[in-house]
């Protein structure tokens, strides 16, 4: 049911849809930066952090989850999705677990 995705990554390099090739190190750095950005944006907008799924805003650690997993983005040659803020969601641990189960074969 899942469309077959041809791996386009070679060694430690991944392709972006604009034809750029980036290294694993670059991806990691950009993902870290994007997550920080998403969290900072939410703090600026709301004044606090909350889970974007259930709305909980305290008592539980919040994670940054990818809608399209980093793995999938890399495999499909759209590595830039790994660090696209609109592809990153802030979730509490509970929602993140549920979310990851729906996305078998994700980055972790
Ligand atoms: Zn939640």
Does 82 map to a domain? yes
54 Cα–ligand 1 center, Å: 4
What pTM value is reported for the model? 0.79
Does 42 map to a domain? yes
Does 22 map to a domain? yes
Q: What is the pLDDT of residues 72-105, one digit of tens each?
A: 999 999 999 999 999 999 999 999 999 888 765 5
* Number of folded domains that form the chain: 1
Q: What is the pLDDT of residues 29-75, one digit of tens each?
A: 999 999 999 999 999 999 999 999 999 998 888 999 999 999 999 99
Does 7 map to a domain? no
63 Cα–ligand 1 center, Å: 10
H helix or E strand, kind and range, residue 77: none
Does 108 map to a domain? no
Q: Which domain holds residue 82?
A: 14-102
44 Cα–ligand 1 center, Å: 20
Instruction: Tell me how many degrees the CA angle 63-15-90 measures, rounded to the nearest 5.
Output: 15
Does 40 map to a domain? yes
99 Cα–ligand 1 center, Å: 10
Does 73 map to a domain? yes
Does 44 map to a domain? yes
């Amino acid at each position: 049911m899942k469309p077959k995705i041809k791996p386009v990554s070679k060694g430690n390099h991944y392709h972006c849809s604009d034809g750029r090739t980036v290294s694993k190190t670059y991806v990691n750095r950009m993902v870290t930066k994007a997550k920080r950005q998403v969290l900072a944006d939410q703090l600026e907008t709301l004044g606090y952090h909350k889970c974007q799924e259930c709305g909980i805003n305290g008592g539980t650690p919040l994670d940054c989850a990818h809608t399209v997993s980093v793995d999938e983005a890399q495999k499909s040659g759209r590595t830039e999705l790994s660090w696209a803020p609109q592809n990153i969601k802030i979730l509490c641990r509970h929602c993140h677990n549920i979310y990851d189960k729906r996305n078998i074969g994700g980055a972790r």
